[in-house]
Structure 1
Amino acid sequence: MDTTWLVLLSLALGLVVGGGFIALLHVAERRGTHAATVVNPSVPDGIAEVIDALETPAVVVDPSNNVLASSHAALVLGLVRLDALVHPELIEIVARVRRTGEPVAEQLTIARSRFGESNIVLDVRAARLGSRYVLLLGDDLTDSQRLDDVRRDFIANISHELKTPIASVGLLAEAIDMAADEPAQVRRFTHRLTQESARLARITQDIIDLSRLQSQDVLSKPDLVSVDEIVAAAVDQNRVVAEARDIVLAVRNKSRAEVLGDESLLVMAVNNLIANAINYSLPGTRVGVGVKSTDGAVEIAVTDQGVGIPEEDLDRVFERFFRVDEARSRNTGGTGLGLSIVKHAVQNHGGDVRVWSQSGRGSTFTIRLPEAPIDAVKAEKDPQ
């Protein structure tokens, strides 16, 4: 009997202890779940999906500035890294919204990355999302502001470029009239008038060419074009000038490569590179033109032994009206649009143009174009 009571008492104590232990585990689990909710809160239903669908930068942050949701654009622009806002300017805006409870709208210029290679311009808006979160929205204005700057610079530059030859033409016309009785002076002024008129014509033609290249239908009907014929035509256009300046034009072996495009535009692009190489070369040096085809692409390289380009100017040489050497460019009659025309002509053909240069050692400009597909070549040569 005593043994039976001892067994029953042991069982009862075991049930009590076991039940208490299970209860403790349940309480601990609830507390852990609550703690996890506090540490890893979730955004209100549907917000994450909306943020993910946005094409513009968008971020939701919690009271500890942890990023709970962010759009792809916010990640691409470097606004968020490791679930945290990167830029102190954005953190300050979020803090201001929490402090005042009022929405904030502000335009910021911030570094694209922590290394600060380039800047982005953001139109930022921030507001409370419920009682705990802050929603940060951005509109990337970088490209539109850059285009506005380019347009403004273009108008200012073209006004300046045209003003000089127009003023010179007017002054020279007056000088010729005043020197009517002096044949030598008339001839001298007439020669200068011809030079200024030619310069004005070159600027006008370059502007027309650049406008043409920026039209959307410039390559609506591309033709099959021989790269060797493009190079030959461009070299012939510059041969007389090269010989007059004692510069050797050297062309490497023919490539037999073909591309789809506009022959006149491609000749103009290569012609501009060769003319530019001649203008910046010293007498007795050499300008080489080479073509090679590899991996479905055709490369046309123009190499000179000229004065070269400083490293800090390499990224700007394709800008409109940019000149590495203003005085030399004016002496050679350059308009500052030649390399910009090259860039646009090549881009319209699905290619790109690159430059390598060292001051005092010369430069190499390389046009890279997609080679014509084999079926296009067959269709052109056998139209049946």
Structure 2
Amino acid sequence: MWAVNKSDRDRAQWADVEEPSISDGAAEVLAVIGRAYVIVDAVDGVVQASPGAYALGLVKGHTIVSQELVEMIHRVRSRGIIVEREIKITRGTVNKTQLVIDLRIAPVGDEYILVLADDRTEIARVQEVRNDFVANVSHELKTPVGAIGLMAEAIESSADDEESVKYFSTRLQKESKRLAALVQDVIELSRLQSTDVVRQSKLVDVNNLVASAVDYNRIMAEGKDIQLLVGGRARRPIHGDPELLGTALRNLVENAIRYSPEKTKVGIGITEKNGQIKISVKDQGPGIPEDEQDRIFERFYRVDPARSRQTGGTGLGLSIVKHVMGQHGGEITLWSIPGEGSTFTMTLPAVDEQSEQDLLGPDIEGTQTVSAKKLTTPGGGSVSALKKKDAN
């Protein structure tokens, strides 16, 4: 089945019109397997390769690109064994990306070598992110837990000194709050990864969503004498999980307050255009350097780790926002210039009038419940009218 068609081979010896190829049956089997493949002859020439093999950068023209792969093919040919191995291949010349490829190389008959390839790049990336996350969580938990232990010992040893007890008690409270916030954010991220947002979607009033986020952070803002200014209104609602959307917006407002100096302003703006609703949160903080902006939404990434810990941030807030936006078909964008502050913008699709009529019912968030009442027209037809239910 794996043999190269003899007629094809004979013709290739006398003319360049056709090149060696595998039989139709073999090609069908390889297609069913669903993996990228390359078939190599006795002199390392590529007899046939799948489109996937070219896409992965294993083959260029009729040549194997990776020297590491060539050496593995030689080993299989000389020993008659099957080799399985994972290799890394750099693809691209300008924006170089490294792919992780899982290979299985086996002899086929006396002349040919079959290479099967799986792209494991995304799996490897997810595993790396998971490992980093576990390591970072462990590190972040150690800091407040260790500090709490030290504060407790200090209080015990300073039992007769009222001022010291008061000082260490305040520090103890601060570390306890930081630990609680970190645990809550980790739980929130886990929920985001396991929750089916669609099943919990409701019509959400954007104006009420913003008002709730402002009210939630008001005490924190007053503690720094920061004004929270809201501008604009949304005419249409959005569709999503009100709790998750509220968490995302609260995180943005909280971050803006944390990084803005005392006696400044934080602005929250609402705009609606072309079927989209944008909620922007602008601070007067130090801003974020351009080379840091692509990483700002990574878990535990901080532009200034010392400052973040001082302000009480967990390093997970923006990652949560990004996850929430992704699950709602929206996006989070950043505009920032060092020294001029930052603006984070949540963009979400607005619900059109027809969709709102279809979805309207007891689950619109932040508005009165409505129901449809059938009315008979003089002509015998019927129309639907919306009648507000008694709140009681």
- If the length of structure 1 is used for normalisation, what is the TM-score? 0.81
- 2:96 pairs with one of 117, 135, 143: 117
Query: Which structure has the highest strand share of the two?
Result: 2
SS class of match (2:200): coil
The more displaced of 364-373 and 202-211 is 364-373
Residue matched to 2:284: 305
SS class of match (2:298): coil
Letter in 1 for 2:321: V
| Alignment pair present for 1:44 and 2:23 | yes
Residue matched to 2:171: 192
**2-structure distance, mates of 1:328, 1:312:** 18
Letter in 2 for 1:340: S
- 1:230 pairs with one of 209, 213, 220: 209
| Alignment pair present for 1:74 and 2:53 | yes
**1-structure distance, mates of 2:170, 2:181:** 17
Distance change (3 Å), C-alpha of 1:46 and 1:316:
same
Letter in 2 for 1:191: T
Letter in 1 for 2:266: V
**1-structure distance, mates of 2:24, 2:16:** 15
- 2:156 pairs with one of 157, 165, 177: 177
Confirm or deny: 8 A CA contact 2:207 2:233 kept in the other structure: yes
The more displaced of 206-215 and 133-142 is 133-142
- 2:238 pairs with one of 248, 259, 268: 259
- 1:161 pairs with one of 140, 143, 155: 140
| Alignment pair present for 1:215 and 2:194 | yes
Distance change (3 Å), C-alpha of 1:115 and 1:88:
farther
Residue matched to 1:143: 122
SS class of match (1:214): helix
**2-structure distance, mates of 1:341, 1:383:** 35
- 1:128 pairs with one of 99, 107, 124: 107
Confirm or deny: 8 A CA contact 1:212 1:218 kept in the other structure: no
Letter in 2 for 1:369: L
Residue matched to 1:26: none
- 2:333 pairs with one of 329, 337, 354: 354
Distance change (3 Å), C-alpha of 1:216 and 1:65:
farther
**1-structure distance, mates of 2:69, 2:46:** 12
Letter in 1 for 2:311: T
- 1:369 pairs with one of 348, 353, 361: 348
Confirm or deny: 8 A CA contact 1:93 1:104 kept in the other structure: yes
Distance change (3 Å), C-alpha of 1:356 and 1:86:
farther
Q: Aligned-pair distance for 1:215?
A: 1.4
**2-structure distance, mates of 1:315, 1:134:** 43
**1-structure distance, mates of 2:253, 2:102:** 44
Q: Aligned-pair distance for 1:328?
A: 0.3
Q: Aligned-pair distance for 1:249?
A: 2.9
Which residues of 2 match residues 240-319 of structure 1 at below 5 A? 240-319=219-298
The more displaced of 207-216 and 173-182 is 173-182
Letter in 2 for 1:350: G
Distance change (3 Å), C-alpha of 1:370 and 1:74:
farther
**2-structure distance, mates of 1:213, 1:206:** 10
Query: Which structure has the highest helix share of the two?
Result: 1
**2-structure distance, mates of 1:42, 1:75:** 16
Residue matched to 1:325: 304
**1-structure distance, mates of 2:12, 2:65:** 29
**2-structure distance, mates of 1:75, 1:298:** 42
**2-structure distance, mates of 1:67, 1:366:** 50
Q: Aligned-pair distance for 1:343?
A: 1.5
SS class of match (1:106): strand
Letter in 2 for 1:263: P
**1-structure distance, mates of 2:244, 2:157:** 44
Letter in 2 for 1:366: T
- 1:341 pairs with one of 320, 323, 326: 320
Letter in 2 for 1:166: V
**2-structure distance, mates of 1:134, 1:39:** 21
Letter in 1 for 2:148: V
SS class of match (2:354): helix
**2-structure distance, mates of 1:299, 1:79:** 44
Letter in 2 for 1:376: S
Rg (Cα) greater in structure = 1
Q: Aligned-pair distance for 1:137?
A: 1.0
Letter in 2 for 1:346: M
Distance change (3 Å), C-alpha of 1:51 and 1:365:
farther
Q: Aligned-pair distance for 1:220?
A: 1.7
Confirm or deny: 8 A CA contact 1:280 1:306 kept in the other structure: yes
Structure 2 unmatched runs, 5+ = 1-9, 362-369, 373-392
Distance change (3 Å), C-alpha of 1:54 and 1:216:
farther
Q: Aligned-pair distance for 1:166?
A: 1.8
Confirm or deny: 8 A CA contact 1:105 1:126 kept in the other structure: yes
Structure 1 unmatched runs, 5+ = 1-30
Distance change (3 Å), C-alpha of 1:166 and 1:173:
same
**2-structure distance, mates of 1:98, 1:333:** 61
Confirm or deny: 8 A CA contact 2:236 2:352 kept in the other structure: no
Distance change (3 Å), C-alpha of 1:33 and 1:372:
same
